[in-house]
Structure 1
């Protein structure tokens, strides 16, 4: 069960980055701005995730703070996806992460 939950966590982390890029590349703007946003938004989220949330994070946070940073990353990605015209997918991204995280925090066993 835990392997499945960790796989889901990894897939939604990738989806978070894709959502941020999707938003940037679909902006109603010139090519330069779309490229900057489409590459910059996921890069910014990846840097924040790497510094604070990854298993090899350079800044070790207490569990509640780490969870808050993770939630912020997913909420931002969900909002960006909604701004790109896909609010249901944005909400689904956040919901899948939240459920997966909740089940993982309870030892990987559904309640």
Structure 2
């Protein structure tokens, strides 16, 4: 991946964690439950990302499964933003993630020089 696309990917990963934290903070019925969810949701996503998606993933899986984990995590973050009252941010995150994946696919298919 190009350095610019890697930077975009890193920012998207941070946005994913932030979106899940926002969802958690707004989803709890009590203040304590909201605080727990605000920490637990991004932590669970980070654990899944580190286990299956990151370049140093603990478990090596095929690209299809890795993409499936990415889609599930971004889907949860996008849905979390939407139900938390941030539909425009949800659309922006979805568009940015789709743009990144298209860019990555284009770079992967480009012949090496």
2:61 partner SS: coil
Question: TM-score, with normalisation over the residues of structure 2?
Answer: 0.89
Q: Which runs of 5+ in 1 are unaligned?
A: none
User: Over residues 24-70 of structure 1, what are the superposed CA-to-partner deviations in whole Å (9 max), with x where a residue is unaligned?
Assistant: 11236211101111001101111111110011111111111111110
TM-score calculated relative to the size of structure 1: 0.90
Distance 1:4 1:108, change over 3 A: farther
The aligned counterpart of 2:30 is 30
Report how many aligned residue pairs link the two structures. 109
Cα distance in 2 for residues equivalent to 1:61 and 1:54: 11
Within the alignment, does 1:48 sit opposite 2:57 as a pair?
Answer: no
Runs of 4+ aligned structure 1 residues displaced above 4 Å come to none
Report the 3-state secondary structure (helix = DSSP H, G, I; strand = E; otherwise coil) of the residue aligned with 2:40.
helix
Which residue number in structure 1 is paired with residue 91 of structure 2?
91
